[in-house]
Amino acid sequence: MSIFTGDNRKASAQAFISGIPYASASGMRLEDVSEGRCSLLLPARATWTGDSERKLIHPGCLSVLADTACGVAVGCAMEELEPYATLDLRMDYLRPPVAETDLICTAECHRLSRSVAFVRGELHQPGQSEPVATVHATFMRATANTRRKDAGTASRQPTPSEAASALIAPASVESSKVFVSTPDATPETLALPPGRSPYVDFLNIHQQTQVDAGPVFRMPFKPELIGNPVLPALHGGILAGFGETAMILHLVQTNPGITGVPRGVDFAIAYMRSAKPVDTFAQCTTVRQGNRVALVMVSLWQDDPCKPVVQARGHFLMPRDDA
């Protein structure tokens, strides 16, 4: 039996969502919930558009919705409240998602071991019978009795709002202090002209030119990017969206002859440590590039490039003149 039980299951799970600042700010809401399963809706917004010319949703929006839905599904599968953390997440993009249309992710925690939770799901848009993407994710379970021992007080059943902020936690706790974002002194410009990609505008991504190793991208911190208000820490899905954006921008800039935007085929991200509420940086490497498909890796860091918060890789279809 899960921690979300009885008639109040949906209300408790919705309180869980409301406790995540990014999920609340983006308007995410539960469509359905049961033991080990949930359907989470991301309402349509012009802000989520990634490609204004082709009218497509940015793939990062799919990743952040999937990460959140998978986390809720894990919570719905647990018998007792305990923190847990996203270890990795993989997205497969099956067809382009239409901009300014709702997105729904249905996730299922199909295996809950003593240490790891395994989740799978699909993302749909209303009116379409086929999914636009699939997701597979794993979550690390914390040791609940160790946390109770460290707390030094008797445990009690948390309220829904406390559950919301306690369940999904990044893999390592570094600080509960809110840090002040300090931009790097390196000269920089906006990564894209305003209006070209509303989602990139929302993330406010800037670019720093590094002659030696290619462009470095910076995502300034803002409070609505928080996923865990207790630590606090950035939402893991936002890190995925930033990483995917950096990959696309990297391919565009390292292939000056292309006339369109590379389209994601798949994306896999591994979380190394919690991401503090400060500016985050990204730099990419093209591992292999053929006539149609490119494989790119990205590293995201905050204080030190040698200590990444996440690493990810993705395949992209390169645009063709005859496409």
CA atoms of 142 and 129, how far apart (whole Å):
38
More confident residue, 89 or 212: 89
DSSP helix/strand/coil, 264: strand
Phi and psi dihedrals of 18, rounded to 5? -65, -25
Q: Give the mean model confidence (pLDDT) for residues 244-251.
A: 95
Please give the pLDDT value at position 9: 66
Q: Give the mean model confidence (pLDDT) for residues 70-86.
A: 87
Kindly report the length of the chain: 323
Q: Give the mean model confidence (pLDDT) for residues 229-240.
A: 92
> Which of 299, 303, 318 lies closest to 217 in space, CA to CA?
299
- Check: CB of residue 85 under 8 Å from CB of residue 290: no
DSSP helix/strand/coil, 167: coil
Please give the pLDDT value at position 23: 93
Please give the pLDDT value at position 11: 76
Q: How confident is the model at residue 3 (pLDDT cuts 50, 70, 90)?
A: low
Please give the pLDDT value at position 145: 35
DSSP letter, residue 244: H
Please give the pLDDT value at position 2: 53
DSSP helix/strand/coil, 157: coil
Which two tokens mark 244? Answer: 């995917």
Amino acid at 37: R
Please give the pLDDT value at position 272: 94
- Check: CB of residue 113 under 8 Å from CB of residue 78: no
CA atoms of 68 and 139, how far apart (whole Å):
12
Mind listing the domains of the chain with CATH numbers? 6-317 (2.40.160.210)
- Site of tokens 């009116």: 127
Summarised one tens digit per residue, pLDDT across range 152-206 is: 333 344 444 444 444 444 433 333 333 434 445 667 899 999 989 999 999 999 9
> Which of 188, 176, 187 lies closest to 226 in space, CA to CA?
176
Summarised one tens digit per residue, pLDDT across range 24-66 is: 999 999 999 999 999 999 999 999 999 888 899 999 999 999 9
Amino acid at 7: D
Instruction: Reply yes or no on whether the pLDDT at 150 is more than 90.
Output: no
More confident residue, 133 or 127: 133
Least confident of 2-6, 116-120, 267-271: 2-6
Please give the pLDDT value at position 13: 82
Please give the pLDDT value at position 282: 97
CA atoms of 81 and 116, how far apart (whole Å):
15
Would you give the distance in Å from CA 101 to the centre of its chain?
19
Q: Give the mean model confidence (pLDDT) for residues 146-152.
A: 35
Instruction: Reply yes or no on whether the pLDDT at 82 is more than 90.
Output: no
Helix axes 9-18, 59-77, angle to 10 degrees: 130
Q: How confident is the model at residue 79 (pLDDT cuts 50, 70, 90)?
A: confident
Please give the pLDDT value at position 143: 41
Q: How confident is the model at residue 230 (pLDDT cuts 50, 70, 90)?
A: confident
Q: DSSP states of 172-206 as a string?
A: S---SSPPPP---SS-EEESS-TTS-HHHHHHT-E
Q: Is 16 left (phi over 0), alpha (psi -120 to 50) or beta?
A: alpha
Mean pLDDT, the chain, whole residue set: 84
DSSP letter, residue 245: H
CA atoms of 296 and 287, how far apart (whole Å):
5
Which two tokens mark 292? Answer: 């149609």
More confident residue, 150 or 163: 163
H helical segments located in 110-168: 144-151, 160-166
More confident residue, 249 or 180: 249
